[in-house]
Structure 1
Amino acid sequence: MSTVIEQPVEARLVAAAPRMQSIPAVLHYDRSDPFAVRMTFPAPATLEGVEVCWTFARELLAAGLEGPEGHGDVRVRPYGYERTVLEFHAPEGTAVVHVHSDEIERFLQRTTELVPVGLEHLQVDLDHDLAELMRDAC
């Protein structure tokens, strides 16, 4: 069984223009980092012309399907019945994208099949992680 899940999604960038631009993005989950998900935007879709990756809690993404969540760099909230809004706040500015909620639900279902919610701690090897941290400190 694979330990990584990647799912392409269609994100719509909310901008000043009346029609939202569609951009590809990828949701990513790795069992070795069981509490987190990543959303990656390809270089052509970013202002800097480089791939941009945001890492945030799987729990935040799931809760944001039901109601507004997040107070920091990443915020998630439902938008109508079919879309979810993700806001990414950085010093350079804020990016707001809409994603079909069913794509996010499908992704979260796949992550839950890989690592059930509430059992993430079983995937973390604290002894190994502490040894790596101490090795890097010396």
Structure 2
Amino acid sequence: MSAVIEQAVEARMVASTPRMETVPATLRYDREDPYAVTMAFPPVATLEGVEVSWAFSRELLVQGVEHPAGDGDVRLRPYGYDRTVVEFHAPEGVAMVHVRTSELRRFLERSQHLVPAGRENQYLDWDEDLAKLLHGRP
């Protein structure tokens, strides 16, 4: 079984204009970083023209599809019957996207098969992480 899950999702940018623009995004889960997920947007979907990735806890995603969650840079909340709003807060401003809740649930289910909730610590390599910390490696 692969140690990494990637899933393309369709995100709809929330803007002041009535029409929401659809942008591609990729959710990623890596067993080597079992507490985190990332959501990446390709260069064509960003104002800077470079890929932008946001990392946040898998537990935040679990909570956010059910009820409002998060109070930091990434916040989630259900929107209607079939959407979840994901907010990205940065010094430059706030970006909000709508993602189908079913796509998020499918991604979470796949990540649970890779690393069951509550067992994340069993997938950490404490020795390697400590060596990286002590030797200043990322």
* Structure 1 equivalent of residue 44 of structure 2: 44
CA displacement 1:103-128 (0-9 Å, x = unmatched):
00000000000000000000001122
CA displacement 1:17-68 (0-9 Å, x = unmatched):
1010000000000000000000000101111111100000000001001100
* Structure 1 equivalent of residue 111 of structure 2: 111
* Structure 1 equivalent of residue 136 of structure 2: 136
TM-score for both structures, normalised by structure 2: 0.97
| Partner AA of 2:36 in structure 1 | A
| Partner AA of 2:7 in structure 1 | Q
Q: How far apart are residue 131 of structure 1 and its match?
A: 1.4
* Structure 1 equivalent of residue 79 of structure 2: 79
Runs (5+) with no aligned partner, structure 2: none
Instruction: Kindly report the root-mean-square deviation, in angstroms, between the aligned alpha carbons of the 2 structures.
Output: 0.9
Secondary structure of 1:48's partner? coil
| Partner AA of 1:110 in structure 2 | R
* Structure 1 equivalent of residue 97 of structure 2: 97
Which stretches of structure 1, 4 residues or longer, exceed 3 Å deviation after superposition?
none
Q: Distance in 2 between matches of 1:33 and 1:124?
A: 7
Q: Distance in 2 between matches of 1:44 and 1:107?
A: 23
Secondary structure of 1:8's partner? strand
- Provide the identity percentage: 62
Secondary structure of 2:2's partner? coil
Runs (5+) with no aligned partner, structure 1: none
* Structure 2 equivalent of residue 67 of structure 1: 67
Q: How far apart are residue 132 of structure 1 and its match?
A: 1.5
| Partner AA of 2:99 in structure 1 | V
* Structure 2 equivalent of residue 21 of structure 1: 21
Q: How does 1:2-21 map to 2 (within 5 A)?
A: 2-21=2-21
